[in-house]
Structure 1
Amino acid sequence: MDGNTASSTQLLRQINSEALLRFALQEQVFTAGEAMAATGLTRATVLGVCDGLVDAGWLEELTDARTEAGRLKGRPARQYQLREAAGVVVGLDAGEGYFTTIVADLRGRELGKRRQSIDSHALGRAGRVANARELIRLALEDVSCTPEDVLLTAVGVPAPIDANGASPAGGEFWQLMNSGFAGHLWGTVIVENDANLAAIAEQAQEPSANVATLLSGERFGAGLIVDGRLLRGRQGGAGEMRFLDELDSKFVPDEGSSDGFGALARKWARARIHSYDGETVLRQIPEGDINAEDVFQAARAGDPLAQDIIARLGVRLARIGVVLSSLLDIERVVIAGAISRAIEPVLEHARSLLPTDSGLPLPDLVASTLGAESVVRGAIESALMRIRREPSAFIPRAPRS
């Protein structure tokens, strides 16, 4: 066999192995016949590839319990499944004020989770990385795993991220958030913008070809999926919503800010509490302690000041929806993040303000069902997508002796 033939044979074997492994990553127990139907490979090839994947540590072969019990006669079908101990993936939401990490198996099932409040500005870049390492180590320990079990770690940060995982050099805050995780966490490490990961999580929940996921809390960013593809931009700035900083005050008074809905609700309540003429329960809360949850709770109870703030947020959201729909032909706008649990009154008001005479379909305005976990769930989904796309780039964990 010459070199070209050997190379071609090796390449074909790798292609077949990847096709079968992608199938196994999304199945439970399967037979050779089921793998043949899914991959188009012959029976002999499937059996040979399965044997190779068993030897490599990706698969395990099962015995047919029904045949052993004597209820069936003849040669049993060979059954396989993904080896549970082949490895795990880790998702990390590395926000400004908290870290959330999830350890999941290779089918995306959550094994363990930890959350920690942090002060990023006191910790600095090195401190953020050290805290992330320790939190992930503890989460792994909780589920009897070690760092060596991790095939891939996906990290979401509140900063623009380019295709190489870097943030624009001019942004001091962005550099703090994108702290250099890639060189210090376990397995292959990918770093992504948090809103993009929230969009990936939403896409896994409810696929849509054209959707904007607005991650809103203290800050505001959008993950944009257009024609089924995530938009990134030259330096990862697609969806940064910087246009909100420049909104003309004649059209949107006092709203020229890219703060998230949570930050705006708190800021507007504190700013207006002194000048408001009517009665409001928000005065019963020390001004410096008023938070977004207080505003939303007061609005639900009928407080007029809080309801006015909710209405202003609705105006803001309606304008954002119109801009996104006009520029990108978005069909759905999803509000994600912890604020999504309380955002329905804002959505209702925004829906009532959308223009009906534009001649174009209006975007659906909906709340995410993932709450505060949208980013970390998107990180897990992103990790699994990467492994499914190129499984041969990863080496499964060898059986422990």
Structure 2
Amino acid sequence: MPYTQRRLNAAAILRLAWDVSAFTASNAMNETGLTRSTVIALCDDLVECGWLAELADARAAGEYRKGRPAKRYALRGDAGVVIGVDAGPHRITATVSDLFGAELGQAVEHVARDETETADRVALTDGAVSAALAAAGVGAARVLCITVGVPAPTDLNGVSPERGNPFWRLMNPGFAQHFADRGWPTVVENDANLAAVAEGSTGAGTGLPSYITLLSGERFGAGYVVNGQLVRGARGGAGEMWPLRLVENVGSADGIGLLLRDWIRTAKRSGELPLDSSLNSIPLKNLDAPAVFKAADAGDPYAVQLIEHMAERLARICAVLAGLLDVDRIVIAGAVAEAIDLLLERTRLRLAELTHPPAPDVVASKLGSGVVSAGAVTRALAYTRENALDLVLEDAVG
């Protein structure tokens, strides 16, 4: 649809459709200031294009009994699908959603730790996407947008820097061009930024003007929302945490999962782990962050000691971020967030000592390991909504 007044009016109708379950011509007139004849003509166009469905009239729906029955319309949730991908270092998850955000299908591809630098990530991601579409029962022609989350900074074209950390190019080996070549509008974004998008949409950032989502697994990454805007930086690197190596008693961007696993395995190998610790009964290969959290929750003194050590480190990281950005809340996200109550209890106490009052609230995300996928779907839906009139629906072809 060309950029005319008619297009602008159609976009206004479609925005209304996205925000309500159903609407009448009168609703649209009140919302847009357009005449009845214009509204009805535009709705007919949007029905023909495949974006709207005409519903039973208001009288049939029981909304009123007298007068001329009013036409009712609604956005077609099945007009197309979007795909959100979390392309993490060791796990690639693809989720297919309808236009209301309801999950239709999901698939996962795993990458072994010793294959991280050699895996064909494009092929693995393609496999996950194809499997998710098959699980959803929809064809590739119905995809309106795909968003891929990667553990790397990305520019506005979805490209990660050639120079700097070589890990970035491993994690983002040309996803933007690859999926564009498949004919899909494509967004490639940093995973922590997408986690922040998810937290702002349905998580612990909802309703807050300024918050940080601190994604922690193997490494820390941060998504900053300040005054309601996601902060990306000039080259998409605003959330990179390499400066933590300059912070006293932190020294790296290593995440909670990696550090607790390394600390407890090192303790067992060196004989530092007390013989009466419950962690001693766990095979070395199974000693990881969840095992430490579980033991600490049960009162294991050595596990609690490790948690306190981690709390000191996390409090310093939060203090630095809070001091720079003056946010309301810091959300700890990722799979590790499911079991960190004890860690956060100690982190909050130490953070209060390190910062000027009031210290930001530090909470665990409730979105679990799917936080990046959820953010990717949300971002893909936002793209579709913003560009709907430039997209051709499969139902409208021919």
Deviation at residue 106 of structure 1 after TM alignment: 0.9
Q: Equivalent residue for 1:331?
A: 328
After TM superposition, what 4+ stretches of structure 1 lie above 4 angstroms from structure 2? Answer: 123-126, 356-359
Change in CA separation of 1:245 and 1:23 when aligned onto 2, cut-off 3 Å: same
Does structure 2 retain, via aligned residues, the 8 Å contact 1:66–1:72? yes
TM-score normalised by structure 2 residue count: 0.91
CA distance in 1, matches of 2:305, 2:285: 20
TM-score normalised by structure 1 residue count: 0.90
Q: Secondary structure at the match of 1:354?
A: helix
Q: Equivalent residue for 2:280?
A: 283
CA distance in 1, matches of 2:274, 2:114: 38
The 5 Å alignment of 1:337-376 reads 337-355=334-352, 359-376=356-373
Letter in 1 for 2:9: N
Extract unaligned runs of 5+ from structure 2: none
Q: Structure 1 stretch 145-154 or stretch 355-364: which is displaced more?
A: 355-364
Q: Equivalent residue for 1:138?
A: 131
CA distance in 2, matches of 1:277, 1:376: 40
Q: Structure 1 stretch 262-271 or stretch 362-371: which is displaced more?
A: 262-271
- Report Cα offsets for 1:150-193 as digits up to 9, x if no partner: 00000000011122211111222110111212233352111000
Deviation at residue 385 of structure 1 after TM alignment: 1.4
CA distance in 2, matches of 1:384, 1:176: 27
CA distance in 1, matches of 2:256, 2:340: 9
Quote the RMSD (CA, aligned, Å). 2.3
- 2:168 aligned with 1:184: no
Change in CA separation of 1:56 and 1:271 when aligned onto 2, cut-off 3 Å: same
- What is the percent sequence identity of the aligned residues? 45
- 2:297 aligned with 1:297: no
Deviation at residue 277 of structure 1 after TM alignment: 4.9
Letter in 2 for 1:82: L
Matching residue within 245, 253, 262 for 1:258: 253
The 5 Å alignment of 1:209-228 reads 209-228=209-228
Does structure 2 retain, via aligned residues, the 8 Å contact 1:137–1:146? no
**Number of corresponding residues:** 387
CA distance in 1, matches of 2:287, 2:114: 23
Change in CA separation of 1:116 and 1:304 when aligned onto 2, cut-off 3 Å: same
Does structure 2 retain, via aligned residues, the 8 Å contact 1:214–1:335? yes
Letter in 2 for 1:329: D
Does structure 1 retain, via aligned residues, the 8 Å contact 2:159–2:176? no
Change in CA separation of 1:143 and 1:317 when aligned onto 2, cut-off 3 Å: same
Matching residue within 46, 51, 70 for 2:39: 46
Q: Structure 1 stretch 192-201 or stretch 265-274: which is displaced more?
A: 265-274
CA distance in 2, matches of 1:121, 1:184: 25
Q: Secondary structure at the match of 1:335?
A: strand
Letter in 1 for 2:168: W
CA distance in 1, matches of 2:227, 2:396: 42
Deviation at residue 68 of structure 1 after TM alignment: 9.3
- Report Cα offsets for 1:336-394 as digits up to 9, x if no partner: 00001011111100111123595442100000000000000000111111222232232
